[in-house]
């Protein structure tokens, strides 16, 4: 797009034919493309040529057309509360990689085991932007927001049951966080968090 | 009541005449009484004799009929995230005192300033039951639940604005807490938390 | 965990490979493990060795690694309103058994047939902690809370339809209960209720 | 109205002038009239003549034009969980009296003190229709519904705080009641419950 | 049950084995039984003997054990707004038939085609109790409530999409109806409506 | 505005100084102006000159600067279910009058008294656009939508209590209406409904 | 229907037999018919004769009995924010075609790429009525409402995830639009929007 | 705080005595302080010395202790949709000024009048971070997010009525925005948005 963020195709509600057409056009134009929310079944339903042209990752349900770009490490930390948050965390990582940023990914550091988070906190503090992914009650956002100077982008995940089902509890924890400076994106929107991080890293010098 | 918890009168929807009558009856019977949710204006509207017979505390909006009982300290810690949570925390403390327990009250230790909580954590761990009061995003419940072996009773407070208005965000954080063993009472229900703590302290030996 | 409650793995959002790996590690370390929310299909998808090492219970969708420990009976009553609440009730029972407590399980005593509950009330009153499981309108929580001196831990279940679908109606009944001292955990969280009961039973002498 | 229920005026959103006009017209026509939701301040704002013509009851915020009719007792029981539910209970009683039924009014029998309800249950069972009023968690509806053969009309009241604020928790308990045959009206709608009772009492013989 | 309503088994969350056991016991005792929310697949999964003993109706997903009783017609009208509401309407009809009442069933008379309802209104007015079933916006409840003198029991159905999905819009229309005397049961609860009708028809003479 | 609808100022969140300034500027430019949601107290707080220049109507809380324009009658019918809906109905009428349309205003024709609506239906059918205002359960929208060929614009009003409080029940009835072709605006938005009617009347010939 | 909008059958909750019967009757009467919400699987389940008689469109899940009518172009523009909104947009187009209007369909002009919308705005402004379809945050409704003089009918679509799941976010954007004169129909209700457009085009001359 | 954002006191739920004490301590320590959500009445209730020491701004309800710091202009644009959003916009501006940033404030550029926004878009694009404040339907967030390369921080405001009351509609528009890279803070949280902007401006060079 015109705003510095990656050109992406949200595949959730598109047919195999529509996706094949979009990828074909991009290949003809020679442009790279990121595809998100492409379920394994949807990927399998694509025609062979399209499938062959894509680098598909089933965990994050994302695909890349046009190959790798050289990436630079260390700018962004992605911190996930639990193993169940990894699909969302990885969607963010893939979006960043598509734009040349190799993120530091740290998982299973939820606040119910605070010592696990504290063991990694210096690595996190060394990054320029922090993306935090958490479902359930989302307490991670406030703890991180109070410990690091970098901007913290919260991604509530839909992991949870009962009152946490669907991610609203985690979302409200992010929004109501008593740690000033925490910002939020939609539930499960790892792509959007990465886009915001890319915009932040692109802020020109003052 | 017959279950070991204090006999209490919820004054919120009662008239001055009704409250005066209930207090009068208790005085006649010579029984002690705890009154909750008695707003300063409602207290002021009581007749002089009733008012005179009560030990009223405007911060917690509670009143005691029948004077003090000897209290024992150290069994219960009440941990409040912010100064704004003090009314609810104090309602719990007054209920406990009514039943002979002097609680340890620790305030302004929200998780956005984690070091403030860690500075007091040993005192908290020395108690037999912990009551945690927090509004906004209620991240305190999970952090405490992961650090102490005692039962943690969460009291979500209605302190907050936007998505936190009314206390639902904090309540859902308590319920969805990833720290196992955290239990919850209704929003702003310091009285109920204290009753639960009293029941827990009264568990007979196995 | 460090707080006296059982080390448990929430399997809902984990792949067969991830679960196999966690179980393998625990076996290598020689530690016991409780697995929750492991659906029959997910259990069937585990590799043979992992499956063989686990004691799996399809009703509660839980599995235990590391065999039985001697259990003691009589400390905890689990009271379920209906037959449909048994999966949740049994998750609580299995968690307690994992920690050495054999619970008294009483089912089908919903308040629409009050006489059935009253026929069992003395057995319930003899226990030190009571876990109550109910869906629909959750009236059981208040009736029990008014009758027993032990702490009552309410577990709202997601059993119900219309306004009760998903368990919110029962949850709100637990939270708004007019019986003081009732505490609550998340909808369907039998595991959490058992953890809280274990913490309560572990309260040191005053 | 044409359906056998009392002609009533809902005053909540009407000006003093509008109410005065409606009452004036009814007096001119010589018809009796029931006015509901007429707050004390709104009553005080009416012109003297209108005020003088009305029998006003501030507790239920209702007024009657046209005087008493002979009433018959014993057909309807109104059971209120707490003192705070009395305004709603009394709105029902006044509507019934307007139509010639003197209700049996029993208050403060919430289920947290089950023995208080059981002490009155025979009186209640002797009535032909039962109206139950309760706020908070509304457990009373299910207990009554399981004990009496008469139709039970639940009136959820807006008494409560936290998740019970506004009456939704009690309403959902009425709707999801596991006691078959309980029916419900809107929150705080004592008038509607009485109208339904009147319709039920008017069912012609089969 | 002890309150005059039919003994019924809610099958939604029960296994084939549990249902078979309950039916077997009833047969042994020689008691009749009504089974509700028994999906066709669940019925098919029952053992042959159980299946053979039941009179199953797939439209209403209900089954009867113990055969017919003589029914009397004309006491209850069941009015359904659309064809899609027929499963719920029929659940009410089957429950009534189980208790000896043959209902008058009128369908496809939603208020968007008011003339269709008006063509049947006299038949409806001749009944002693009216059950109205409607989804979408539930306008039928108010129109009927204003036209008939009999008690109107509204059954909101979950038929609808968008804001009507799940039945809340129709439920709120029933509760907020400006036609006094309309009462409501839970969404899709045809069984409960029939139980209430049975209780009403059983009101003893004054 | 550039789209043919009246230039209006929403006064709800503006200070007296801000409103005075806006009106002053319009007078200087010689343009007419409509002010909405101007509460009586807010009007009283305006400076004398501003107040004097405005034609204020307290019922609809609207004011007009710049005097009357010739109006033509008969194009639009505004149908209000109850007297309490008149403020919203009148906001629509004032907006239409500002643009040269004198609406036909019919009130107190809610569907609980269907005969009152039927008595006026021919007048309504003679109009080119119909605006319907209703609170509570909003059944009026569907009944009207099924009877008239003109477009029906529903304005849900916030009149109501319990589940109808704030207007969501009426809004959902409008949206889920089974009468095809009913369109809706926001709760209490008489201004918006009138703007839509003006746009419809301005549709050029095909 | 009697109000000028097409006779349509909502197939979502009807069986193949019911649909076959309705189509058969229409064929016998020789009337045309529009069928909506007929899923491909439901269409496939119809008997051969019925299927053969219908013109089925799987994208919009609609079918037409009775063939084409001559259509006239240019009266209505249907503007869809994304490709995912096409099924709803096409349901509107099919309904219009059934009534003789060939709509101008413009897709993939969401406001995140404002230049794409601006490139087509003159074509849109040339139409007499505009239907706008958008999911996610529904910003398109306000932008269009501020740019065109024609009535804008917003159709919120259920496309989206997180807080946008189910279409409520887009619906509320339509209702709260600051562009006066925007009207709304239910989520995904392309049929209803087309009916409203037909009613608007049918407004008689003033 | 330790994370680079201003030390601020949320005054909403604090007494005059508590605020006086906090300000007194800061003065003794010689530290600067920002006070937020200090209503005019609450400010007036402070003791004279405290009041005198503060630079109070009633529009944003904020106060500064410790005087001005040199500010630099041009880094941050604050874009407000309407005049009613100015209090929130100004809270952001005051927080930025407290930290040395003079923001560019642009108001009344809501998307219903797109040309007003386009007239200022170049000024906005010249800034390094953009804060957007909007209530009602919040369409501004997506339009801005699609036009500028800088990070866009959305602040939903509680301005609005009906479905927009309280700010949820605008919040959901921000979260579901189809413009990638938009991030959000809580409703009315101008302070939090400014803190996030400060963190972004403080990102060290890569
Ligand atoms: N996972 C995602 N979540 C949110 N927005 C996305 C996602 N993937 C792509 N987008 C955005 O959605 C729009 C693509 O929509 P479409 O034109 O339907 O493919 C573009 O603005 C993308 O930047
Ligand atoms: N059924 C359950 N409900 C809630 N929490 C659980 C459950 N089972 C395990 N847990 C907790 O969830 C965490 C395990 O998460 P994980 O590390 O993703 O396996 C631990 O803190 C467990 O104590
Ligand atoms: N408290 C009440 N709750 C619900 N409906 C009422 C109440 N009081 C009167 N009504 C009904 O509301 C309508 C009166 O409305 P109105 O014509 O505005 O006075 C009549 O149908 C009354 O039967
Ligand atoms: N009562 C109202 N409801 C909805 N929108 C209104 C209302 N009154 C004025 N408006 C619109 O709100 C905008 C005025 O906002 P403002 O610039 O803040 O006065 C204009 O687009 C008006 O057309
Ligand atoms: Mg973990
Ligand atoms: Mg603090
Ligand atoms: Mg049972
Ligand atoms: Mg009481
Ligand atoms: Mg029909
Ligand atoms: Mg009326
Ligand atoms: Mg697109
Ligand atoms: Mg403006």
Nearest ligand, measured from the Cα of D11? 3
- Tell me which H or E stretch contains F65: strand F62-65
Mean local confidence (pLDDT), H98-113:
94
Q: For residue B20, how far is the Cα from the chain centroid? A: 24
* Chain H CB within 8 Å of residue A183 CB: yes
G121 C-alpha to center of ligand 12: Å?
23
Rounded distance, CA G161 to CA C128, Å? 46
Give residues whose Cβ lies within 5 Å of ion ligand 12. Answer: H 82, 108
Q: Does E189 touch chain C (CB under 8 A)?
A: yes
Contacts of A133 in chain B (CB under 8 A): none
**Model pLDDT for residues D111-162, shown as the tens digit of each residue:** 988 999 999 999 999 999 999 999 999 999 999 999 999 999 999 999 899 9
* Residues present in chain C in total: 206
Check if D36 has its Cβ closer than 6 Å to any atom of ligand 3. yes
Please list the ranges in chain F whose pLDDT falls under 50: none
Q: Are residues E112 and F142, on separate chains, in Cβ contact within 8 Å?
A: yes
Could C186 and A163 be called an inter-chain contact, meaning their C-beta atoms sit closer than 8 Å? yes
**Nearest atom, ligand 1, residue A189 CA:** 3
Q: Does F166 touch chain G (CB under 8 A)?
A: no
Separation between Cα atoms, residue E184 and residue E154, nearest integer Å: 5
Chain F with chain H: Cβ pairs closer than 8 A? 30
**Strands across the sheet with B33-36, in order?**
B8-10, B33-36, B62-65, B54-57
Q: Is there contact between E and C if contact means ≥3 C-beta pairs under 8 Å?
A: yes
With an 8 Å Cβ cutoff, is B27 touching chain A? no
Residues of G within 8 A of A18 (CB-CB) are 83
Distance to chain E for C78, nearest Cα, Å: 19
Q: Do A3 and H148 touch (CB under 8 A)?
A: yes
Question: In a 3-state reduction of DSSP, which class is residue C28?
Answer: helix
Other C-beta atoms lying within 10 Å of the C-beta of residue F70: 6
Average pLDDT over residues B9-13: 91
- CA C197 – ligand 8 centroid, Å: 29
G161 close to H201: Cβ distance less than 8 angstroms: no
Do F83 and D171 count as a contact with CB atoms less than 8 A apart?
A: no
Q: Which residues pair with G153 in a beta bridge?
A: G131, G183
CB H40 within 8 A of CB H58: yes
**pLDDT over 70 (residue C130):** yes
Tens-level pLDDT at each residue, chain G (206 residues): 557 788 899 999 888 998 999 999 999 999 999 999 999 999 999 999 999 999 999 999 999 999 888 889 989 999 999 989 999 999 999 999 999 999 999 999 989 889 999 999 999 999 999 999 999 999 999 999 999 999 999 999 998 999 999 999 999 999 999 999 899 999 999 999 999 999 999 999 87
Exposure string over C111-139, b if 16+ CB within 10 A, otherwise e: bbbbeebeeebeebeebbbbbbbbbbbbb
Atom of ligand 2 nearest to the CA of A84: 18
Taking the CA of residue F1 as reference, the ligand 4 atom at the shortest distance is 23
The answer, yes or no, to whether any atom of ligand 1 lies below 6 A from the CB of A174, is no
**Interatomic CA distance for residues A186 and A168, integer angstroms:** 10
Q: What is the residue extent of each domain of chain A? A: 8-65, 72-201
**CB–CB contact D186 E203 (8 Å):** no
H172, G137 in Cβ contact below 8 A?
yes
Q: From ligand 6's centre to the CA of B109, what distance in Å?
A: 7
CA distance readout (Å), C122 to C127, C146, C147: 9, 14, 10
Kindly list the protein residues that place their beta carbon closer than 5 angstroms to ligand 9, a single-atom ion. Answer: E 82, 108
Q: Answer whether H113 touches F (CB < 8 Å).
A: yes
Contact H194/H92 with Cβ under 8 angstroms? yes
State residue G68's pLDDT score.
81
Question: What mean pLDDT comes out for the span E106-115?
Answer: 91
pLDDT tens, residue order, chain A (206 aa): 567 788 899 999 888 999 999 999 999 999 999 999 999 999 999 999 999 999 999 999 999 999 888 889 989 999 999 989 999 999 999 999 999 999 999 999 989 889 999 999 999 999 999 999 999 999 999 999 999 999 999 999 998 999 999 999 999 999 999 898 899 999 999 999 999 999 999 999 87
Q: Do G128 and F203 touch (CB under 8 A)?
A: yes
Is the minimum CB–CB distance between G44 and chain F shorter than 8 Å?
Answer: no
Which residues from E are below 8 Å from F181, CB to CB?
none
Cβ–Cβ < 8 Å for D153, D193: yes
Spatial distance between the Cα atoms of F97 and G161, rounded to a whole number of angstroms: 43
What pLDDT is recorded for position E198? 97
- The tally of CA atoms less than 13 A away on the side-chain side of residue H82 is 24
| Alpha-carbon gap, residue E189 to D176, rounded angstroms | 9
Any CB–CB contact under 8 A between H167 and chain B?
yes
Report the Cα H154 to chain-centroid distance in Å: 10
Closest CA–CA distance from residue A168 to any residue of chain G (Å): 8
Q: Is G12 on the interface with E (CB under 8 A)?
A: yes
CB contact under 8 A, H166 and B165: yes
Contact list, F202 vs chain G (CB under 8 Å): 149
Ligand 1 pocket, residue H204 CB under 6 Å? no
Contacts of D10 in chain F (CB under 8 A): 84
Confidence of residue C112 (pLDDT cuts 50, 70, 90): confident
Query: Which residues of chain C lie closer than 8 angstroms to B191, CB-CB?
Result: 180
Q: How far is CA G85 from the centre of its chain?
A: 10
Pocket-testing residue among H80, H81, H83, H160, ligand 4, by greatest number of atoms within 8 A of Cβ: H83
CATH tag, D72-201 = 3.40.50.1970
- Does residue E93 carry a pLDDT above 60? yes
Task: Out of G35-39, G125-129, H69-73, H200-204, pick the least confident.
Answer: H69-73
Percent of chain C with pLDDT over 90: 84
What is the distance between the terminal CA atoms of chain F, rounded to a whole angstrom? Answer: 24
Nearest CB among D1, D14, D188 relative to F161 is that of D188
Optimal mutation site among C19, C20, C35, C186, interface A, most CBs of chain A within 10 A: C186
Is F36's C-beta closer than 6 angstroms to any atom of ligand 4?
Answer: yes
Q: How far is E35 from chain F (nearest CA, A)?
A: 32
Q: Does the beta-carbon distance from F146 to E114 stay under 8 Å?
A: yes
- Which residues in chain G touch residue A187, judged by CB atoms under 8 angstroms apart? 161-163
Inspect the interface and report whether the beta carbons of D173 and C169 lie closer than 8 Å. Answer: yes
Chain F residue at shortest CA distance from H85: F13
Instruction: Show which subunits contact C, needing at least 3 CB pairs below 8 angstroms.
Output: A, B, D, E
Quote ipTM for the complex: 0.95
Residues in A closer than 8 angstroms to H176, CB to CB, are 186
Looking only at the bridges linking them, the beta strands covering G101-107 and C182-184 are unpaired
Q: How far apart are CA B153 and CA G6, in angstroms?
A: 60
Q: What is the DSSP letter of B205?
A: P
CA dihedral B4, B6, B11, B14 (to 10 degrees): 50
Mean residue pLDDT across chain B: 94
CA distance B10 to B18: 11
Q: What pLDDT, on the 0 to 100 scale, is given for residue E1?
A: 53
The dihedral region occupied by E172, where left means phi > 0, alpha psi between -120 and 50, and beta the remainder, is alpha
Token pair of E20 as six digits = 């078979």
Using a threshold of 3 CB pairs under 8 A, tell whether chains D and E touch: yes
Would the CB of H178 count as within 6 Å of ligand 1? yes
Q: How far is the CA of G190 from the centre of ligand 1 (A)?
A: 23
Q: Residue with structure tokens 């009467």?
A: G29
Q: Which residues of H touch A149 (CB under 8 A)?
A: 2-4, 199, 202
Top mean pLDDT of B66-75, D9-18, H133-142 is at H133-142
Secondary structure letter of residue A17 according to DSSP: H
- Show Cβ contacts of residue H146 under 8 Å, excluding neighbours closer than 6 positions: A1, A2, A3, G111, G112, G113, G114, H179
What residues of chain A, 47 to 106, have a C-beta less than 8 Å from chain G?
A: none
- Determine, for residues A177 and B141 on separate chains, whether the beta-carbon distance falls below 8 Å: no
- Shortest distance, CA D48 to any CA of chain E (angstroms): 30
The pLDDT value given to residue G67:
84
């Amino acid at each position: 797009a015109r705003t510095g963020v990656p050109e992406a195709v949200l595949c959730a509600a598109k047919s195999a034919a529509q996706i094949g057409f979009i990828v074909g056009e991009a290949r003809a134009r020679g442009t790279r493309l990121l595809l998100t929310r492409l379920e394994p079944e949807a990927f399998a339903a694509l025609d062979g040529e399209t499938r062959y042209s894509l680098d598909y990752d089933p965990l994050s349900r994302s695909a890349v057309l046009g190959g790798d770009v050289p990436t630079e490490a260390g700018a962004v930390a992605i911190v996930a509360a639990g193993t169940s948050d990894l699909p969302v965390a990885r969607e963010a990582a893939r979006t960043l990689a598509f734009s040349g940023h190799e993120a530091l990914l740290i998982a299973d550091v939820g606040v119910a085991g605070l010592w696990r988070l504290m063991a990694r906190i210096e690595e996190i503090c060394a990054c320029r932007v922090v993306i935090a992914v958490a479902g359930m009650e989302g307490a991670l956002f406030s703890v991180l927001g109070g410990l690091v100077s970098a901007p913290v982008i919260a991604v509530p995940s839909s992991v949870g049951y009962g009152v946490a089902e669907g991610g609203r509890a985690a979302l409200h924890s992010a929004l109501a966080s008593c740690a000033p400076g925490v910002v939020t994106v939609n539930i499960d929107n790892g792509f959007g968090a990465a886009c915001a991080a890319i915009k932040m890293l692109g802020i020109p010098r003052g």
